[in-house]
Structure 1
Amino acid sequence: MKLLWSVFAFSLAQEYEDSSVESDYDDLGNKKKGNKNNYSNNSPYGGSNTYGSAYGDPHFMIKNEDQPPICFDFNPPSGATLNLLIDPVSALSVTAETGENEKGLNFMTKVHFMSPDGARLLFDVDGVHLDGLGEETASDPHPITGHQVYGDLIFAEKMSFDGNHDHTKIQVGEDGPEFIIKGNITKKNLSVVVSDSTGISPKCRGLIGQFMRPNSYRLRNFGVNEAGENTALVVSGGARVPAVEGPYHHADDCFVIAEDDILHVMANL
């Protein structure tokens, strides 16, 4: 069994022109030898995966295959339902509900997880709630790892030192994809991590799912802007949008796409 606990318009009329300052990247999007950060190992939510990994809360980071990670914001109105990952081949489904916190910011407040066999997990800031399999209940926690089995799902819930829900790790089947649902009691929000995309089909769709496809995006035309920042052109489907490298919430280095531009990318994937 694979262990769960070893552990996202076409707004450019022209492509970037070459800069007189040398970029840190070669034409394939790899860091040149001697420059910091090897992106194949630098994702804060890395791990073995088939196509890539992703994080969203709704600040999204996507790491696909051998490409540098891309980051973007997606801010739907309060009360919206987000299709994060829908796999029509396996019937795996991950959706989220948004709500407004006391600061007036919208976050994911509930995450609905449905497995191919119909096991459903509902996550909120209090933890995980089981449903979907009638009177069937989860197995007792494993004495060493703490994992439990519910239908075709293997999950382990971790509580913080004060007894609140910290995160839950989920694996679909013995060799399927792996996810982490993290809770933040202070902000009263949840985040979703795809830590291993093994078994997710190329037909997957959704806010995160569409980036789990092979070659869902490539970075090209690396350069440096007047501020000395690394720049690139993100090519995804029929869209080409600019991105600037820099720190971004949960990532030390990421190519950040403007929120308006990411809408064009999603429309063209």
Structure 2
Amino acid sequence: MSVPPRIPSRVSIDGDPHFIISVPQKEDAICFNINENPGAVLNLIKDPVTGITVNGELIGDKKANNDSKIQNTYFGRLGITNKHLNLRVMVTPEKITVQNGAEKTGFTWLDSVTLQQEGLNLIINRKKNLVLSMGGGASFVIVLHQVWKKHPLHQDFLGLYTLDSGKLSKQTHGLLGQFFQPIDFTILEIHPGSDPKKPDATMIVKNNELTVTRGWQKDYRKDPKNGIDVPCWFVHNNGAGLIDGVHTDYIVSSLF
């Protein structure tokens, strides 16, 4: 009997940065959040073989919610690098900057662009998203979320989705990158939680026993405005027990 190939997990970040790990062989998903201060830069993906690194900087709401112990944060800047090709791409809700060696090119989200350079493919879909690939590595979709300019609280932010992550090496790590390899988990003892609509359960993953909560996160790739609900098991405490190490291990000094 042949054994079916294990399908790599699909991972993404979006919203307050909610990390979603789609696990195809389980027909399910795991999600977690990272609670850090605005200005913190997190290493999302690092592949020493292809040379691709993705870091993201958090932004907060325009003013803090004094009633909440944990402030909402989102990704406001993304830095994508291929050190082997000497390529850098920085994406913000205002502009996209491509640096190829000493040459620097800038675009805005009002542009519709297809850019092909050696080792780089970049497509900007005006005011919606951009699709980026470097070398023979994975492709990334970055979604632009725009809010009403006079909104008293929220500001524009970005979402990141990975495509064909199997093109990155098995040495890939980072808050997202570690989940490019298939992950297995077991759900036991589903029982009512504090929210009647969101049951709790016990998850066995990486030899750890975690309390998780059933919930939903949004996938904005096809519907940037409203998103599509993705049911998932939410891991509490900054992904403790699911991610390797602790979340502060992934804080880096700068985007590049």
Q: Taking structure 1 as the reference length, what is the TM-score of the superposition? A: 0.67
Runs of 4 or more, structure 1, over 6 Å off, are none
Counterparts of 1:111 and 1:261, CA distance in 2: 20
Question: 1:240 and 2:218 equivalent?
Answer: no
Distance 1:212 1:86, change over 3 A: same
- 2:165 aligned to which of 197, 203, 212: 197
Distance 2:104 2:239 in 1: 42
* Cα distance in structure 1, aligned partners of 2:181 and 2:30: 15
Contact 1:51 1:214 in 2 (8 A): yes
Distance 2:216 2:105 in 1: 43
Query: What CA deviation, in whole Å up to 9, does each residue of 1:15-63 have, x standing for no partner?
Result: xxxxxxxxxxxxxxxxxxxxxxxxxxxxxxxxxx951211213111111
Change (3 A) 1:150 1:60: same
Amino acid at match of 1:124: T
Distance 1:231 1:202 in 2: 32
Q: In the TM superposition, what whole-angstrom CA distance separates every residue of 1:194-251 from its partner, at most 9, and x where no partner exists? A: 1321211222111111111233x42332634375856544333342212232323443
AA paired with 1:110? R
Q: What is the deviation of 1:70? A: 0.8
Say whether the 8 Å CA contact 1:64–1:212 is kept in structure 2.
Answer: no
Q: Percent identity?
A: 20
Matched, 1:102 2:59: no
Q: CA RMSD in A?
A: 2.8
Are positions 1:153 and 2:120 aligned together? yes
* Distance in 2 separating the partners of 1:219 and 1:151: 44
Question: TM-score, normalized by length of structure 2?
Answer: 0.70
Letter of the structure 2 residue corresponding to residue 148 of structure 1: L
Find out whether 1:64 has 2:23 as its counterpart: yes
Q: Is the 8 A contact 2:13 2:19 kept in 1?
A: yes
What is the rounded CA distance, in whole Å, between the counterparts of 1:261 and 1:168 in structure 2? 28
Q: C-alpha displacement at 1:109, in angstroms?
A: 1.1
Partner of 1:91: 51
Is 1:263 the counterpart of 2:237? The answer is no
Instruction: Name the CA distance, whole Å, in 2 between partners of 1:199 and 1:231.
Output: 35
Residues 261 and 124 (structure 1 numbering): CA distance in 2 closer, same or farther, change over 3 Å?
A: closer
**Where do 5+ consecutive residues of structure 2 fail to align?**
1-5, 65-71, 107-111, 148-154, 220-228, 247-256
Distance of 1:198 and 1:264 partners within structure 2: 24
Matching of residue 54 in structure 1 with residue 11 in structure 2: yes
Aligned to 2:253: none
In the alignment, structure 1 segments of 5+ residues that lack a partner are 1-48, 139-144, 161-165
Q: Specify the alignment match of 1:80 in structure 2.
A: 40
Structure 1 residue 148 displacement after superposition: 1.6
Alignment of 1:161-180 (within 5 A): 166-173=128-135, 175-180=136-141
SS of aligned partner of 2:96: strand
Distance 1:159 1:223, change over 3 A: same
Residues 255 and 119 of structure 1: CA distance in aligned 2, closer, same or farther (over 3 Å)? same
